[in-house]
Every structure is written in C-alpha cells, then in structure tokens.
Structure 1
C-alpha cells in the first residue's frame, strides 16, 4: 500500500501540505505573539458545512486541528475536552523549542479501526471439487458452507498456504496497511480496534504514516520553531540530504535551490553528501581494521532506524554496527566549525533523523530537522516556485563525490564504502549483503548472527528503495532514484576518498562518539515514547 501511494497526489497529500503551508504562513507573519489565527485554520482548510472526505465536517476539522498542532510540534489534544488549537503556542514559539515526544502519533478519531491480519474468502470462490485450500491447511481451519470455502479465524494461523493453493485467487490476505508497513511489529489495536503504537518497539522510520490511507498517523514538525529562529535574526543554515534531487520538481538545480533557501530566510545551504563522503571513508577504515579480526561482520550506520533496530534486537552484536558518524552529523560538525553560533537544520527524507538529532550520547550539532514535504510547505507559504527561480549561476555544490551523492539510493552506501576500500586495496574482495525494509533487515541480521555473512559488509535501509523512499519525500521513489543517479554523475569527483574535507575527520570525530553501546538506542526509544 505504501509503495502504491507514494508519488500519487491524493486528498490526504493535499491536506498534509495545506497544513504545513498554513502553519508556515502564520509563523512568517508578524503576529506580535498572538496566534489566535491557528484556531481559525480548520475552518479555512475545511470550509462549508458539507463533509468532503468523511461522514462529518466537524470530524474533518477536528482531525485537521490535531494535524495543525503536530505541525507546530505540540501534543495532540484529543476529543474529550474543549480546547483551543493555539493552546501552548507561546511555548512552541520559542526558537530553541524542540517538539514534545512522542514523535509518531496516531489521531484516534481519524483511524478506521481496520481489521488486523487475516485471510478471507472472497466471492470469487468457485467451490471447486479439488478443494486444494482445505487440503493444504495444517490446522483444518477451512470448511465448505453452501458450496463455498469458509475460514475459521480461531483456528487459522495465517500461514497463507490456502491462498497459494487456490486456483482462482479467491482468498485474500487482509492486512491493516500501517501494520503491514511496520517492520518492527509495533502496531496493535486498542479496545475500539483503533491502531496503537508500541513505542518500546518503534524506531520512527515513518513507513506507517505514509501507508495509512485514512491519514490517521502523523509525525511532529519543527516548521514553526525554525521560522521563529529565522525571524529572531539567528544565522540558520540548511544541510540538504543527498535525496533532495527531484523532490521539489527540479533535477538538482543547485543554484535555484540556494536561491529558494535564501528567500525562506536561511543564511546558507550545504550538501550532506559531503558528510556521506566522510562517512564512507570512516566506515572503510573501520572495516579494514576490525573485520574479521575484532568483529565477524560490519553493518553500516547511516540509517538510524536500521541501526537502532539491529542494536536493540541483537544487543550481543551491537558492536558489529559501524560506529562511524552519520552523514548528517559529520556535515553538521563541518558547518559548526565555521559557524559556531548558527542554527543548523537538516532537510531530508527521514522521520527517524528527528530522533537522531535529539541524542545526547552522540552530539549531532543539528538543531532542527525538516522533511522535504515540510520544506515544500514553507516554500508554498512564501509563494516560491523553485523551478522558476533565476538562480545564482552556481550549478553545483562543487565538493561531494558521486559516491557520497549515491547514499540516497539503496546499495549506494555499501558501494561507496567498497570503492573507498579499493582506493588503497584494489585487489581486496569485499563481500556485501544488503537489505531494504526493516523486516528484511532483521532477516539479514539473523543470518549474519548465524555466521552466514562472516567477513561481510552489511547495508541496512529501513525504507524500501533507500532514503529516496523516506516518509518525508514528495516524489515517486523510482523517479527520484533515477534523478539522484543522474545528478551523482555530474560530480567532478567519483570517489569519497577524493573529498577535500577528509583531512578534517580526526577533528570532527570526538572520542566519546566511538561508543558501541545501547545508550543511543535507549535514548531514541525513550525520546519516542515520551508521555504516550
């Protein structure tokens, strides 16, 4: 469901982006600290007295109201008491304010209370003589009533054999979309059958929120706080993830992107692919030094959802996940060296980066995190059409390599590390295993723990397709992947080892960061759980 919905402009897309745009618009306006306009927003977004999407216009407005608060980084209010949307805005309006946990939220009264996983017989059943569905069922859960197959849900163990055996494809596999997308099995049901998140399991990949066709799941944003920092005269610098290509409609167009950020009030914009180069060089060094002498295999570190899952579920092998700093952190530290008092904003595809930025055990130097979709809302609020801007004439960032820019696409991280290893060890065989989606990543780790991947480099990506499929992306995955690859080829440097900033790695890496423990995992989970 998630992949089918990605890149398709739906009514849910319209509502999400309208909320981001309007929150940004009000934040940019000079309100003198009075934010009553937020209370009127649901009536502007959902006008009239006839429901468009749901059974009640009042329900539509209530859901929009909760989305507005989440977009401001505020907690939801629920429907059990009268409350103003603007309640608590004076606290959120401080430019140093971070959102209150939890990050990923389910709007209860927007949830359709979809049935949990089960196999059901459709009207396509022909009641055939062979009855293969009944014959293959290991629990005798299938009987025939009035000539049609019937599944006893109490007996069914959901093995799917009946579905595979049916010659008419008459048996459907029914899954709640959000739960099917969750590779952590973190979504269950409350007493009313509505979805709930187990925050002890959730790693904030965000795949549930892009999979729910009812728009009942949303993460918190920092649009409001970033704009407050800009309006307060802070030096605010953006660091854009490698997957930015194509997200706003262009194909790189760095000069136009730089002008767009300037119009939004940013003091500058840098490419996180710089940090990706440094990360690749770091991981290449760790791999050469430690595999297999100290650890049997090494997993990549750049995807926070994957690394948290691996360390949490395989704690005895937590040391096998690279301790290299992520591209986001390395880029932020480079910026901090030159702009010690700046507010640094990571702009990317990932919800999990919002938690990574909050970690204390590994200081990220990132003050705020925005998704591409949230950034697009800011552009709309200022009436900026990215592709129509004149640009400043500088057609490239001129620093990052093709390898670093390739981090955005599944397989790109491992390839960059392998290429960095081959720079000084051209004849060395580096075996690689890669997985996309947390369920597949878990299977890869299980195999690795059993010894299947001894001596291997493992690349884990929580989002199927890589970062180009993150929960905060705008464009279709396949389209963006192709554009990222095309943009990568334009780099004057091919390998991560050619990045001029590699000489600063020793300065950027702090001794306390090289900690292979579960501290960061515990922090991330606690930050996500909050007061949920």
Structure 2
C-alpha cells in the first residue's frame, strides 16, 4: 500500500483544505437561509480566467464545485444535466441530516484514467544479448523490435518476472495509484478507463483519496451540519481521537485544543483515549475468557475498516474479531451519561468512522464525525491559531492512561490490552502479532486461520502506521507517531485498568435492549456504502 505522498503539502491538499475552510466560513456567516453563496464559491476559490493546475479554469471550477457539495454532505452532480450547485442545500442544512451514501466518491471528470495494471519497456532498455526478459516470460509475450524489447499486452499476464530480471531496470510496472493504495481490490476502470469503486468491497478506509495524485476521489463531510447544530444553540461536545497530538501544531496541549473548540462554538471536548482505556480492559477480559477455549485467536476491534474486512472476507471466523465497542463509541456513551441531550462529534483521523457512527444495530451515540483536516478548515475559517492559544477549559473526566493515548500508533492497541491482562495475570505469556494496511491484515488473518497464531492477540490497522496515518490527518506519519508517544508518557497513569471509569464498562457496552455484539456490522456497512439510486454512478 502506497504512502508516498503522505505528509507532503501538495496543491491538492491546499485545494481540499481551502474548500473545507470556505464552506465552514460561509456556514458560520450565513444564518438567513439564503444559500446562494454555494453557487458563487467556486469563483472565489478559483478566481480569474487562467487555469493553474489543469487544462481549463472551467474544469478546475467544476471539480471544486463537486468538492464543495461533498464537503456539505451532498451527492455529486456530474456535468451531464443542468443543476445549481446549491441544489439540496436547504435540506442538508438541518442539523440532524446525514450524508447519503456513498461516502467515498470518484469525481469522474477529475480522474486521469490511469492505466490499471501493465508492464511497459522504457527507454532504458539496451537490447542486450542475453535478453533474459524474453527467456523468462511464461507466455512468450516479449519480442525484440529495433533492438528494443517489446511486450505484447494481449499475451502479457502481468506476472512481473520480466521486470524483476531486467539488468537495467528498464521494464516498469504501471498501476493506478488509488488501486495500489486500496487494500480491498475495490477499484477498477469504467468504460472510459476512469476509476470506479466496487462498494460491495470498499470498507471506507480512505487510502485511495489521499493517494490519488489528481484529487479525483473525495469523501463526504459533515462540517456544514455540525456548524448548523452549533448555530442552532445545541449543546455540542467534541470527542477527539488520540492521534490529534501535533496535528494542529504544537505538542499535544489538550487545554489549547479545548480553547480552540470553545472558540468554534463547541460546549466541551473530551479525549477518546478515555474510551481506549475501557476498550483495552474489555478486550483483555474477552481474551482471557475466550482464547483459546472458545476461539483460537482474537483480533482487536477498534479499527472499523480492519474489523469489517475480517468479518466480510472470513465470515466463518467473524467471532474471532473482538466484539468490544470501539473507543469512539465508549467515550460517546460516557459523555452521554452526563450530557443526555448533547450532540456528540467525533474528531479523528479516519474516514471509516463516518460509517461506524451511522450503524443502527449498535448505537454509537455519535451524531457527527469530522476528520482533523475538516476540523483544521473550521479553525482557519475562524482565524484560530492553535499554537498561540493560552489554553483553558475543563474536562468532566479524569485523564486517560499512557496506554490509552498510545492507541493511535501501530502496536499501541495490542500493547494496551497485554498490559491490562498483566495487571491481573503478571506472569502470563500473551503472544501478539500486528499488521498495518489491509493487504497485510488479510495475510495475518489467513495465517491465523491456518493455525499459525493460535492463542495470539491480533492487532489489525487498515492504515500503514496506525491511526496516525488515517486519511484525515494533517501531518507526516512518523512525526505524529513520535508526538503521540511523547504525549502518552505525560499521562499520570500508565495502564488502562488504572482508569477509574473502567468500572462502568459493562454498563456502557450494552444497548438499551441489553445487546452487546454487533452481529449486523458487515451487512450494515455494505448497505451504508451502496450509492443511493439517484446518486451519480
């Protein structure tokens, strides 16, 4: 899975963030019910008559127009029928409105129609005497023309042996970057060669949208709806994922972040690391109770893209993935106990959390989900410089443990669960393995099913590096990982069981009907991903 562009501030990142900023700015300013500004916004973002990035300023504006609609949670319009950009905004302005599926969208006329999968000979070919490429090709697809190797694409089976054996590295593999980044093999080409997503496979990890160098893939946002709830005078409380450290500058000062949320109109902010502690304790209990007597191994639950993939592709072993509620949900339920009428907003690095929050089989208590990138847009719209804030505000809860704050980094979840087990069983040997990226997660699951990891705790993370590499992050992955580790060391308690709120875990984990397990997670996630009938294909 590619991560080559992550942490590099490109013109695409600038456009994305400009759209979030401007949608937020105008949402805060326009309280009259007049949404004509939506139609004018592409001209403000892309002024003048000279194209900057693409062949035409009209194309640039059209693409930005679609991005504006997605940033407001609206479906794509396409260019094949006359329509105002602001169509449907009045409905979307209601604070309780949720985006219509699909969540991840391909803006077709922004797509470069990249080659899906091919091997081609470059000018580096020397037409050598040995021509090992020709000798090794199992299908006889390689011949020599004008002393250069030539690959017959009709015969080629894309095995890559020729590229591996060429002494000059003259044979190159061309692949669509979004498809390379997709660990679910959910991206193919339509009739025009443009990317299309198979929503029956997609788990909404968002890696395609941050790896497309043409900015043709985007997810829907709820910036607009969150601001509407704030303007309506609702009690709006943010819960912020552990990966927040360093995302907005600075070194993880929670008091500064609380002040920033207050300036945005939120009534409070809590750390999701609280729920991470509860999740670790629950998974430790489950592991002790079920492995190996009931199940041969146990996978962690906190990454929704990993857990949905595991349950979808290995249904006969779905019970081997923990049914513990995620830190997002446990934190929201903790907040809900003290603020029964509040709107709760999860702010984090992850696209897949947008789907998790919408599940109906297990109520998450989360009303809206924003990414750090969307949150940064809101802060820019209000001219908030996080690093210059004095830092003020209070929490309803005690701080989380060092282990809970470390959930954001690959290996952190498993480590927290092991430490929770050792609290009661200090001499127990808990074997652990972890995988980053859905391709590696799949390999891990296959190996576990074959018996390689009997008695193990498996940590799966859809994003390489963990949550710090989520699609909605702002900073380089390694930089954030280091900042999270430093911040976690400042916690006054070290392990999850030391968190006093862990006593509430059995109360929080059950819905009103007494159910704990999310039996319908796969079917529901697939349903939430499918496009609405009137949405653009």
Confirm or deny a common fold (TM above 0.5): yes
Contact 1:254 1:396 in 2 (8 A): no
Aligned to 1:487: 487
Task: Single out whichever of 262-271 and 423-432 deviates more from structure 2.
Answer: 423-432
Corresponding position: 1:197 with 2:194: no
Cα RMSD after superposing both structures: 1.4
**Contact 2:69-2:85 at 8 Å conserved across structures:** yes
For 1:415 and 1:477, the matched residues in 2 are separated by: 20
Tell me, what secondary structure is at the counterpart of 1:350? coil
Cα separation, 2, equivalents of 1:283 and 1:32: 49
Deviation at 1:240, TM superposition (A): 0.2
TM-score, structure 2 normalization: 0.97
* Contact 1:19–1:71 (CA under 8 A) maintained in structure 2: yes
Q: Secondary structure at the match of 1:209?
A: helix
Runs of 4+ more than 3 Å apart = 393-398
SS at 1:324 equivalent: coil
Look up the match of 2:378. 378
Q: How much has 1:516 moved relative to structure 2? A: 5.8
Following superposition, the deviation at residue 31 of structure 1 comes to 3.3
Q: Check whether the contact 1:2–1:210 (CA below 8 A) recurs between aligned residues.
A: no
Query: Within 5 A, what are the aligned runs for 1:404-443?
Result: 404-443=404-443
Q: CA deviation at 1:513?
A: 4.2
Aligned residue number for residue 468 of structure 1: 468
For the 8 Å contact 2:18–2:45, the answer to whether it is kept is yes
* Aligned match of 1:515: 517
Give 1:61-140 correspondences, 5 Å limit.
61-140=61-140
Q: Compute the displacement of 1:326 (Å).
A: 0.3
> CA deviation digits over 1:251-309, x for unaligned, max 9?
10111111000000000000000000100000000000000100011000000000000
- Tell me whether 1:506 sits opposite 2:509 in the alignment: no
Alignment partners' CA distance in 2, 1:190 and 1:15: 26
**1:91–1:395 CA distance, 2 compared to 1 (3 A):** closer
Specify the alignment match of 1:293 in structure 2: 293
Q: Shift of residue 134 of structure 1? A: 1.8
Distance 1:136 1:147, change over 3 A: same
Q: Distance in 1 between matches of 2:515 and 2:45?
A: 45
Shift of 1:140: 2.0
Gaps of 5+ in 1: none
- Asked if structure 2 preserves the Cα contact closer than 8 Å seen for 1:253 and 1:395, the reply is no
Is residue 206–residue 471 contact of structure 2 (8 Å, CA) maintained in 1? yes
Deviation larger for 154-163 or 249-258: 154-163
Distance 2:6 2:270 in 1: 27
Where 1:5 maps in the other structure, the secondary structure is coil
CA contact (8 A) 1:318 1:516 kept: no
**Alpha-carbon spacing, 1:396–1:229, altered in 2? closer, same or farther (3 Å):** closer
Deviates more, 1:131-140 or 1:457-466: 131-140
Asked whether the equivalents of residues 436 and 465 of structure 2 are also in contact (C-alpha less than 8 Å), the reply is yes
Alignment pair present for 1:356 and 2:375:
no
The CA distance in 2 between the partners of 1:43 and 1:146, in whole Å, is 52
Partner of 1:525: 526
Work out the CA distance in 2 between the residues paired with 1:437 and 1:395: 34
Matched, 1:164 2:167: no
- Normalising by structure 1, we get a TM-score of 0.98
The answer to whether the 8 Å contact 1:271/1:397 transfers is no
Gaps of 5+ in 2: none
Q: Distance in 2 between matches of 1:107 and 1:49?
A: 22
CA–CA distance in 2 between the matches of 1:255 and 1:123? 57
User: Greater CA deviation, 129-138 or 372-381?
Assistant: 129-138
Distance verdict in 2 for CA 1:144–1:92, change over 3 Å = same
In 2, the alpha carbon distance for the partners of 1:241 and 1:475 equals 15
CA contact (8 A) 1:361 1:513 kept: no
Of the structure 1 ranges 388-397 and 33-42, higher mean CA displacement relative to structure 2 is found in 388-397
C-alpha distance in structure 2 between counterparts of 1:95 and 1:24, whole Å: 14
Q: Tell me if structure 1 keeps the 8 A contact 2:361–2:518.
A: no
Q: Is the 8 A contact 2:258 2:393 kept in 1?
A: no
Partner of residue 275, structure 1: 275
> Aligned residue for 1:243?
243
Per the alignment, residue 369 of structure 1 pairs with 369
In 1: Cα distance, 2:460 partner to 2:58 partner:
43
Aligned twin of 1:453? 453
Aligned equivalents of 1:474, 1:513: Cα separation in 2? 37
